[in-house]
Amino acid sequence: MEEVGIVGEFVRVETDPDHPAVAVIRLDRPKVNALNAVMTAGIADAAKQVSTDPGVRAVVVYGGERVFVAGADIKEMADRTAAEMREYARNLQSALTLVARVPKPVVAAVTGYALGGGLELALAADFRVAGAGTRLGVPEIQLGVIPGAGGTQRLPRLVGPSRAKEMIFTGRHVKADEAREIGLVDEVVPDEEVYRAAVARVAKYAEGPAVALAAAKEAVDRGLETDLDTGLEIERLHFAGLFATEDQRNGMHSFVGQGPGKASFGGR
């Protein structure tokens, strides 16, 4: 992969060599990518970078072949006060929310362990591809606390409240096949194929209508946060607004003149 930006000591933004419009947020804090304050800041900066780069049309979040993120750095937080942890949790939540709000398709390529903050990072993506040997979970209850970076909110929205409560209350590790069955991950592949499968999942969007894809993502995500009537209003406004784009004109004129599936989009 070609490195296009160092955004922190433990985070890089790279370009996939076969798909130049696919950016990779590469996490690299040996040995297990434990989240600390520096890595959290790097994730935030990386999310901002890929969000504003017009050359990026889709994003992969990848921790490497061995592990995605095994959790937060417990040594860093073990002796902090409640006041200090309020700020710590705010920063971590903010970083993962920046990932969730990247206005482009985002997939988490999950290998090894995605626990605690690692699973919460994966939950901030639109899709999750996991290796067959992956273990996922929110084990914070075993430390006498609860998830603090979206686990109590994004997890039940994805798998339902009962399954989320069972995972949170027990802190158990969920195997990849079960994770797929309950909708926690979208695809399970052999461990060595995780990265390529993740790229393949989002690369197909790279030539799509970028403005419409961003609108669709925001309409779904914002709609899930509100009541149906408000969600429908969000959808209506985005739908109408897309008629000011070149992609809409290209797409509809191509459909009328050549039939479906022939349009090319410039992302404007």
> Is 56 in contact with 13 (CB distance < 8 Å)?
no
> Is 222 in contact with 186 (CB distance < 8 Å)?
no
> Is 226 in contact with 218 (CB distance < 8 Å)?
no
Among 76, 87, 120, 207, which one carries the catalytic annotation?
120
Give the pair of three-digit tokens for residue 41: 């800041």
Among 3, 87, 140, 187, which one carries the catalytic annotation?
140
Instruction: Give the up-direction half-sphere exposure of residue 202: CA atoms within 13 A in the CB hemisphere.
Output: 31
Cis peptide leading into residue 175 (ω within 30°): no
User: For this structure, is 225 an active site residue?
Assistant: no
User: For this structure, is 140 an active site residue?
Assistant: yes
Label residue 118 left, alpha or beta by phi (over 0 means left) and psi (-120 to 50 means alpha): alpha
Indicate which residues carry an active-site annotation: 120, 140
